[in-house]
């Protein structure tokens, strides 16, 4: 009997050992890696870097941003999902990675709900419809009329096949009356922006960012509309698509920080508290506003998970009705 008791106690000690070590150790004791599943220069990259900058001091460690682009954010997201759930690999995810991919991909390489735990939603941002200055259209009505008069002549760039920006372009084609516009996918918003400016493509449907606003104000490109219910505070001169008569163009993107499922509760709480404090920092608040993003001040892991489930439920019938699929 004594031997059995000792054996049971020994097994219990082994089972509790990792948690005991974690409780005694300090998190983080080495740099935290934040995976951004899109190239540098896009809105997801910007939000991730702003969060990392603001949260690092409150977390008491270093956060290193690493861009892992490709497959509409699926490559970087898959890598993060398969990482050890110890809080040292995080993901800067958004609507494409956690809503559109799960709905539109035939065989998603990760489960957006089961493989991740959200630390919190950081911001929401509308997508845009923009053109090269040489395109003779000053608003969406004129752009739609131009495309209808020249079927097959125009193309639109996006941040990649299967992204929310790709879906934005497809919705515009449908809502504007069935336009014949060819999709040109890029590996992120940054390369698409450069090709619009260079005149290699006439238009693009991208997430609003400080980079886009800077080029808009300098005249290098022209943002015709933001796809939100109201004009954004950072650019009150840019009308909404609804104002331009395209009523169905409501495409808002959320950005959130995720950890792999299975992360210890105390580590999740440390990241959540660092995020709460980061949202009070001017570097994050001002940076988001300049980019045309709206800060989501109140977002716990539980609220974020509920919000993402609601977004999946909202977008599922829209994506299915549009016939939008990711091969």
Residue 1 pLDDT level (bands cut at 50, 70, 90): very low
**Average pLDDT score over residue span 174-197:** 93
Of 74 and 16, which is predicted with more confidence?
A: 74
| 3 state SS of 164 | helix
> What is the C-alpha to C-alpha distance for residues 275 and 272, in angstroms, rounded to an integer?
5
Q: For residue 25, what pLDDT is reported?
A: 64
**Average pLDDT score over residue span 39-64:** 93
* Percent of the chain surpassing pLDDT 90: 77
| 3 state SS of 67 | strand
Neighbours of 247 (CB within 10 A): 9
Q: What is the mean pLDDT of the chain?
A: 90
Backbone conformation region of residue 312, classed left if phi is above 0, alpha if psi is from -120 to 50, else beta: alpha
Q: For residue 125, what pLDDT is reported?
A: 93
Q: For residue 168, what pLDDT is reported?
A: 94
Q: Tell me which of 1-10, 37-46, 175-184, 221-230 is least confident.
A: 1-10
Per-residue pLDDT at 11 exceeds 50: no
* 2 burial type by CB count under 10 A (0-12 exposed, 13-18 middle, 19+ buried): exposed
Q: Tell me which of 244-248, 276-280, 320-324 is least confident.
A: 320-324
> What is the C-alpha to C-alpha distance for residues 176 and 158, in angstroms, rounded to an integer?
18
**Average pLDDT score over residue span 107-128:** 96
> What is the C-alpha to C-alpha distance for residues 87 and 273, in angstroms, rounded to an integer?
14
At 192-225, the pLDDT tens digits run 999 999 999 999 999 998 889 999 999 999 999 9
Per-residue pLDDT at 318 exceeds 90: no
Tokens representing residue 72 in the block? 């509409």
Q: Chain centroid to CA 298: how far?
A: 18
**Average pLDDT score over residue span 142-158:** 96
Per-residue pLDDT at 101 exceeds 60: yes
What DSSP string runs through 232-296?
Answer: -TT-TTSPBTTTTT-TT---EEEEEEEEETT--HHHHHHHHHHHHHHTTSHHHHHHHHHTTPEE-
Of 265 and 23, which is predicted with more confidence?
A: 265
Please, which residues have CB within 8 angstroms of residue 9's CB and are 6 or more apart in sequence?
none
Q: What is the pTM of this model?
A: 0.79
Q: Length of the chain, please?
A: 327
CB 156 within 8 A of CB 204: yes
Q: Tell me which of 84-88, 134-138, 212-216, 291-295 is least confident.
A: 291-295
What DSSP string runs through 137-163?
Answer: -SSHHHHHHHHHHSTTT-EEEESSTTS
SS (H, E, C) 284-324: HHHHHHHCCCEECCCCCHHHHHHHHHHHHHHHHHHHHHHCC
- Supply the DSSP symbol for 77: H
């Amino acid at each position: 009997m004594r031997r059995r008791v000792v054996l049971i106690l020994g097994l219990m000690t082994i089972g509790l050992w990792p948690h005991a070590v974690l409780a005694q150790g300090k998190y983080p004791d080495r740099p935290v890696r934040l995976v951004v599943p899109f190239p540098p220069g896009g809105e997801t990259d910007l939000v991730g870097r702003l969060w990392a900058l603001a949260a690092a001091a409150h977390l008491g460690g270093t956060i290193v941003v690493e861009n892992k682009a490709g497959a509409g954010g699926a490559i970087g997201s898959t890598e993060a999902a398969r990482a050890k759930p110890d809080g040292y690999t995080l993901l800067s995810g958004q609507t494409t990675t956690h809503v559109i991919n799960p709905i539109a991909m035939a065989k998603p390489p990760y489960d957006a709900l089961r493989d991740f735990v959200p630390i919190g939603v950081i911001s929401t941002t509308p997508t845009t419809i923009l053109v090269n200055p040489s395109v003779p259209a000053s608003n969406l009505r004129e752009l739609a009329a131009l495309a209808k008069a020249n079927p097959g002549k125009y193309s639109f760039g996006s941040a990649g096949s299967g992204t929310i920006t790709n879906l934005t372009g497809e919705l515009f084609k449908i809502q504007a009356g069935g336009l014949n516009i060819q999709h040109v996918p890029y590996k992120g918003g940054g390369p698409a922006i450069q090709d619009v400016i260079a005149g290699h493509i006439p238009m693009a449907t991208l997430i609003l960012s400080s980079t886009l606003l800077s080029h808009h104000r300098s005249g290098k490109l022209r943002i015709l509309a933001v796809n939100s219910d109201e004009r954004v505070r950072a650019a009150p001169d840019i009308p909404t698509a609804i104002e331009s008569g395209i009523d169905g163009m409501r495409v808002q993107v959320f950005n959130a920080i995720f950890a792999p499922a299975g992360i210890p509760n105390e580590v999740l709480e440390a990241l959540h508290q660092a995020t709460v404090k980061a949202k009070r920092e001017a570097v994050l608040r001002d940076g988001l506003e300049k980019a045309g993003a709206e800060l989501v001040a109140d977002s716990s892991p539980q609220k974020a998970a509920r919000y993402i489930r609601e977004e999946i439920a909202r977008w599922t019938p829209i994506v299915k009705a549009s016939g939008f699929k990711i091969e």
